[in-house]
Structure 1
Amino acid sequence: MRLPSLLAALERGDDITVFEFLDEAAGDELAGDDGISLLAAAAYAGRHKVVDRLVVWGVDPTHPWAGGVDPVTWAAGNGAYWVLDALLSPDRDPLRADSPHRRALRVAQAALESGTGAGRAPLAAHRGVITDLEARLGVHRTPDELMARALVRADPEHDDWFASLFHIARPESQERFDWARAVAEGAGDAGSLDRRRFALDVIQFLGFGLNPDSGDDEPPFTREAAEFLRPRLDTEQDPYALRTVVAAFTGYCSREELPAVLALADHPDPVVRNCVALALPALPALLADGIDALGVLLSLADDPVPMIRTSALYALTLSSDDTPALRGVLLARLTDAQADVRLEAAIALALRDDERATPVLDEIRRGGKTISSHGARRLDYLHHQLRARTPGM
Structure 2
Amino acid sequence: MDLPPLLAAVERGDDTSVFEFLEDVRSDEFTGDDGITLLAAAAYAGRGDVAWELVVRWEVDPTRPWAGGIDPVTWAAANGAYWVLNALLSPDRDPLGVDSAHRRALRVARAALESGGGAGVVPPPAHRAVITYLEAKLGVHRMPDELMARALVHADPEHDDWFESLCRIAEPESQERFDWARAVVADAEDAGELDRRRFAFAVINFLGFGLNPHNSNDAPPFTRDAVELLRPRLDTEQDPYALRAVVAAFTGYCSREELPAVLAHADHPDPGVRQCVALAFPGLLADRPDALAAVLRLADDPDPVTRTSALYRLTCSPVDVPALRTVLAAHLTDTHFDARLEAAVALALRGDERGAAVIEEIRRGIKNRSSRGAGRLEDLHHQLRAHTAGM
Same fold per superposition (TM over 0.5) = yes
TM interval, short-chain normalised: over 0.9
Paired position in structure 2 for 1:338: 336
Query: Aligned ranges for residues 1-393 of structure 1 at < 5 Å?
Result: 1-56=1-56, 57-118=58-119, 120=121, 122-189=123-190, 191-215=192-216, 217-287=218-288, 292-391=290-389
Shift in CA distance, 120/31, structure 1 to aligned 2, threshold 3 Å: farther
- CA drift of 1:226 comes to 1.6
Separation of aligned partners in 1, 2:123 and 2:316:
40
Say how many residue pairs are matched. 390
Shift in CA distance, 304/121, structure 1 to aligned 2, threshold 3 Å: closer
Specify every segment of 5 or more residues in structure 1 that has no aligned partner in the other structure, as ranges.
Answer: none
Specify every segment of 5 or more residues in structure 2 that has no aligned partner in the other structure, as ranges.
Answer: none
Q: Under a length normalisation based on structure 1, what TM-score does the superposition of the two structures give?
A: 0.95
Identity of counterpart residues, as a percentage? 74
The residue type equivalent to 1:340 in the other structure is D
Structure 2 contact 155–162 (Cα < 8 Å) conserved: yes
Spell out, residue by residue over 1:71-98, the C-alpha distance to the aligned partner (whole angstroms, 9 max, x if none): 0110000001111111111112111110
The residue type equivalent to 2:53 in the other structure is R
Structure 2 contact 347–356 (Cα < 8 Å) conserved: no
Secondary structure at the counterpart of residue 364 of structure 1: helix
Structure 2 contact 223–253 (Cα < 8 Å) conserved: yes
Secondary structure at the counterpart of residue 59 of structure 2: coil
Separation of aligned partners in 1, 2:296 and 2:211:
33
Secondary structure at the counterpart of residue 312 of structure 1: helix
Structure 2 contact 118–124 (Cα < 8 Å) conserved: no
Separation of aligned partners in 1, 2:173 and 2:160:
21
Structure 2 contact 73–105 (Cα < 8 Å) conserved: yes
Separation of aligned partners in 2, 1:347 and 1:37:
39
Structure 1 contact 200–241 (Cα < 8 Å) conserved: yes
The residue type equivalent to 1:329 in the other structure is V
Separation of aligned partners in 2, 1:10 and 1:124:
19
- CA drift of 1:127 comes to 1.0
Spell out, residue by residue over 1:269-300, the C-alpha distance to the aligned partner (whole angstroms, 9 max, x if none): 1110111001123333233xxx6111111111
The residue type equivalent to 1:367 in the other structure is G
- CA drift of 1:26 comes to 2.5
The residue type equivalent to 1:15 in the other structure is D
CA RMSD of aligned residues (A): 1.7
Separation of aligned partners in 1, 2:377 and 2:123:
38
Separation of aligned partners in 1, 2:286 and 2:87:
43
Secondary structure at the counterpart of residue 152 of structure 2: helix
Q: Deviating runs (4+, > 6 A) in structure 1?
A: none
Separation of aligned partners in 2, 1:12 and 1:357:
33
- CA drift of 1:216 comes to 5.4
Spell out, residue by residue over 1:340-369, the C-alpha distance to the aligned partner (whole angstroms, 9 max, x if none): 111111111111111112221122112223
